[in-house]
């Protein structure tokens, strides 16, 4: 049995996460599979994944979960791992989880920005690194992967300056990490729901980030986002805000807008995890479990909403 509960008392390195997922999916091999690589990073590291579904046969809906596009947001991959652990360990005993997994197939890429994440473990000077590790013209490093997607790429909320934290790259999908993720999603779609986990600010963001125009299904997305908020609040009384992404600030070239606009995922969200600024990107490890628990509750509802949606 994996040391599942112990695992979440600390943050873990790229290699430790890989080993944990390999072990977990070996133990729960009837419902989960480790994907050694969906593609490689600019520095040649594998971007690994996990797929989970129940033993029931028949047509199933699909959910895509990504985390860790920004290196410094350590609680985002930790939360995706928490959700993975809950799904596989509860499937045999929890009727709610069984009802979810027997009706959906879930694809996880818990750590997208693998090079940036490894770099952020390199000491105090690197801890707040955000971008990937591309060597740019001029000698600076990094492209913001969440400004590199091919949906309204190059617009407001991104930068053409390589030294900027929101540098969008030389073109849409110029980065192997975002390109790999989009190709993986396209190859395994169509998907019915998607969440991209980030930190911090405690927000549940729905499309669009690039425009204040309401998407065709905004009423449904708002209901789902508001209910995710309520389910999160009920666990630890921690308040998240449900809103359209542009209401935080305009973004272009984001994964969420690509999921919704290009991959045609009807329910696509970005969730910004704890906290609201006390610790920011350096959220203490003691908050991994409570952050995971409240977002597990939100995820359970989200998955049920995907199943029940047409």
Catalytic residues: 272
- Residue 220's nearest CA partner among 272, 267, 269 is 267
In sequence order, what are the residues at sequence separation of 6 or more whose Cβ sits closer than 8 angstroms to the Cβ of residue 62? Answer: 104, 105, 106, 107, 188, 189, 190, 191, 192, 193
Burial of 298 (0-12, 13-18, 19+ CB in 10 A): buried
Instruction: State the DSSP string of 154-175.
Output: TSTT-BS-TTSTTB--SSTT-S
In sequence order, what are the residues at sequence separation of 6 or more whose Cβ sits closer than 8 angstroms to the Cβ of residue 122? Answer: none
What is the strand order of the sheet 241-244 is part of? 32-35, 49-53, 104-109, 61-67, 193-199, 267-273, 203-206, 241-244
The tokens describing 237, both together, are 């009384």
Q: Residues in the chain, how many? A: 310
Burial of 40 (0-12, 13-18, 19+ CB in 10 A): middle
The tokens describing 240, both together, are 């998240």
Residue at token pair 């609680």: 75
Burial of 233 (0-12, 13-18, 19+ CB in 10 A): middle
Cα angle 73, 182, 294 (rounded to 5 degrees) comes to 40
In sequence order, what are the residues at sequence separation of 6 or more whose Cβ sits closer than 8 angstroms to the Cβ of residue 42? Answer: 115, 132, 133, 134, 175, 176, 177
Q: How many CB atoms lie within 10 A of CB 269?
A: 26
């Amino acid at each position: 049995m994996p040391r599942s509960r112990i695992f979440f008392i600390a943050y873990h390195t790229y290699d430790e996460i890989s080993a944990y997922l390999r072990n977990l999916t070996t133990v729960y091999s009837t419902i989960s599979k480790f994907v050694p690589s969906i593609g490689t990073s600019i520095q040649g590291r594998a971007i690994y994944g996990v797929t989970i579904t129940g033993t029931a046969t028949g047509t199933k809906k699909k959910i895509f979960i990504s985390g860790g596009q920004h290196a410094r947001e350590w609680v985002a991959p930790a939360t995706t791992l928490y959700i993975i652990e809950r799904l596989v360990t509860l499937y045999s005993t929890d009727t709610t989880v069984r009802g979810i997994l027997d009706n959906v197939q879930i694809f996880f890429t818990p750590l997208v920005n693998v090079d940036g994440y490894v770099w952020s473990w390199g000491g105090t000077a690197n801890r707040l690194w955000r971008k990937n590790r591309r060597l740019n013209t001029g000698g600076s490093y990094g492209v913001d992967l969440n400004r590199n997607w091919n949906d309204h790429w190059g617009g407001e909320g991104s930068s053409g300056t390589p030294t900027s934290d929101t540098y969008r790259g030389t073109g849409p999908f110029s980065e192997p990490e975002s390109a790999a993720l989009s190709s993986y999603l396209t190859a395994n779609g169509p998907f019915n729901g998607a969440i991209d986990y980030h930190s911090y600010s405690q927000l549940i963001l729905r499309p669009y980030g690039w425009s204040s125009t309401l998407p065709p299904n905004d009423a449904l997305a708002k209901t789902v986002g508001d209910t995710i908020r309520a389910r999160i609040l009920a666990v630890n009384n921690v308040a998240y805000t449900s809103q359209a992404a542009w209401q935080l600030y305009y973004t272009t070239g984001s994964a969420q807008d690509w999921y919704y606009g290009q991959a045609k995922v009807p329910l696509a969200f970005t969730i910004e995890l704890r906290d609201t600024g006390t610790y920011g990107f350096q959220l203490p490890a003691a908050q991994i479990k409570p952050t995971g628990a409240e977002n597990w509750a939100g995820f359970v509802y989200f998955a049920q909403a995907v199943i029940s949606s047409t």
